[in-house]
Every structure is written in structure tokens, then in C-alpha cells.
Amino acid sequence: MDAAAFVAEADRAAAVGNLREAERLLLQAVDAAPGDCLLYLKLGGLQRASGQPDSALQSVQRALSIEPRDFTALLMQASLLEQLGRPDAAQAWSHALAQRPEGDLPAHLATVIAQAESRVEEWNKAREARMAEATAKAESQATPDEIHKIRRFRNNRLRRTRPFHSEPTDFQYPGLREREFHPRSLFPWLEDLEAATETMTSELRTVMEAERAELVPYVQYDDHLPMDQWRPLNRSLDWTAIHLLQNGIPVEANACHCPSTMALMKRLPQPEIPGSAPNAMFSLLAPNTRIPPHVGVSNARLVCHLPLIVPEGCWFRVGAETRFWKAGEALVFDDTIEHEAMNPTDELRVVFIFDVWHYDLSAIEREAVAALIGMETGGGGGL
């Protein structure tokens, strides 16, 4: 008989409670088709049901030797290790969850997945405590930025976070440090910026009330372009901007109402690229609006947010780090690392956004970057 015939006979034997005969027939099935992962899983399930967890584990691990990332097999292996009281059960649950497929899963797996998540969380808490103890001496002597990185190192190992990298859509300059949010200590001008929050908020309100204020959709692309991530917000008034500087040119209708803000911009290390930079704007996000994950154009610049009007609960994720905006507390981040934002409230959120040179670029490198981007964008692009 072929494997299918043995399986059919095994199913009939199991249906009448003859599990030993069903196992014998399934063993013959796997001998007939030794490369079939599902047959080994079926055999393992039968062996488990008949009270043979050791044999079941061997069968499941044979299945995994054929398909090492099979989610069902990994779950079954972890469950059997748990049943057998093996110390490596928690790690096996973690490996299984790492292979969880996207989308909806069969309802019968819900209980098993909940068990897996609970066990992995318990295991990770114990591991985290041991890790914290191991790094405690180093952390006691570390700077705040070093402490942040050490803790991220732990979270990456615990798989609570994962590495994200700079992936600019157009201009990638080599060798620049990649950080989701860059340390405040690298930007001494942040204190002056934050001290101007009240003044800038006042100028924002003035320009919003002005008849000539140019409030435009933040995302504006031709429909034929391959910009699927922006389609829901393309030309939408849910996410708008009041530009003060756009592609290196002052937007006088708005800038004239914001003299203090414009004066402050002149003191900051903004890129100067004809037709592309500097850029500075008030970004308005409507209530209950989400900005989808996306990346920026060039890693040669960093982006600064100064929150001005921020209802509680508005958040911003860059890579693996999520922060809540707070009025008057600036953030400097790399917009070429995947990022997204959400205003889950019933009120308007306004953040002032502008770009600055990446601090790793020398003066000569900045000159080269400006020359190349200026040439490529032809005076009408945007950094």
C-alpha cells in the first residue's frame, strides 16, 4: 500500500479506539513517505493521545527535521517538552512564537498560543532579572545614553524589540550612525528651541487664523505613482501642513506671521540645498487619524519634532521605540528608519517639524551631499 492507504486504514482503526493498530499503520505510512512532515505530525498526535509523550516528541522532531519552521510542529514540540517537564520548554515556546504566521489563525490554536505567550513572558521576566543583575555594575557607571543602549541590548535579546535600520527611499550616505531617537546631548540648541515653545505656539495660532495661511495636505502625489502606503492620506485634509520653509524657499504668506520662529530657524544647522532644503512646517494631524509606517528620503538629515498642541495619548513610533509627544519636549529622530504616528483623540495635534544635518557629516561631506541632491532633484525635489 502507499502512504495514503496506510493513513486511511489508520484513521479507521483510531475511529474505533484501536490506537495501537492506528500507530502501527502510521509507522508504515511514514516509512512509505519519509519526507512528509504532516505524516510525522499525525503520528506524533496519535502517540500523544495514547500516552506516549516521549515517542510523540521524537515524531514531532522528525517532522521539524523536514520543516524546521513549521509553526504547528514547533507549538507541539514545546507543549510536549512542557508535559515532560523539560527545562528547555520555555525556549521552545519562544521559538514557536517567533514563527507565528501573520493573519488569523485557526481557533483551536488560540489556547495553545495563549499558553505559549504566558510561559514565554514568565521565562523572559526571569531572564531579564538575571540580565539586569549581570549588567548592574556597568549600568551604575554608565551615562544616560549608555544605559538606554544597554537596556535596548537586553530587550533585543529578549525579542521584545528588534533591530531597525536606515532605509532611505532615495539618498543613502554610508557610515552614518543609525538611531531611532538621537541623544539630546548631541544637540545643544534644543534648550533654546524648547524655550521658544510658547512663542511658536502663539505664532502658530496667528498663522492659522490668518486669511492667507496656506494649509495644504502633507501628502500630495499623482495617483499613477507607486505610493501605496500613502494612498489613504493622499491629498487628505486629515494630515496637513503650514509650511514656513519648503524645499529651501520661505512661504511668505505663512512666514510673515512667524518672525520669531523664522529667526530661530536661521540659528539651527539646517541643510541648505537649492530646491530641496531647508524645510520647516507646522504639522496638523486631525482627530482619530493614523500616519502609516513609512521612511524618508535621505539619511543625510535628521528630523526634529517640537510638539506644540498635543492631546494626551498621541504617540509616535520610530523603529522599535514608541514615545508619547509632550508639548515643549523636542525629539530628534532618523526618519529613514520606519516610523508611524497616531492621534487617537478627538482633538487636533500640532507638531513643529524641521530638518537638520546629520551630525556625523563633515563640512566637506555636507557640501558633497548638497551638490549631489541638488543635481538629482533639479531644484524641485525635497530632502
| Domain with 58 in it | 35-121
Residues 189 and 114 in one domain: no
In a domain, residue 1? The reply is no
pLDDT of 236 reads: 57
pTM: 0.76
Same structural domain, 361 and 233: yes
**pLDDT of the residue at 109:** 86
Same domain? For 204 and 350 the reply is yes
- Residue whose C-alpha is closest to residue 92's, from 108, 115, 66: 115
Q: Is residue 208 part of a domain?
A: yes
pLDDT lower than 70: segments of the chain? 211-238, 378-383
Q: With residue 5 as reference, give the H or E element that holds it.
A: helix 3-15
- Give how far the C-alpha of residue 225 lies from the chain's centroid of Cα atoms, to the nearest Å: 25
Domain-located, residue 104:
yes
In a domain, 163, yes or no: no
Q: Are residues 246 and 322 in the same domain?
A: yes
d(CA 366, CA 371): 8
Report the alpha-carbon distance of residue 128 to residue 161 in Å, rounded: 13
State the pLDDT at residue 228: 53
Our count of domains for the chain comes to 2
Residue 171 belongs to a domain: no
Q: Report the DSSP pairing between strands 215-217 and 321-324.
A: unpaired
* Radius of gyration of the chain, Cα coordinates, nearest whole angstrom: 29
Residue 312: per-residue pLDDT: 96
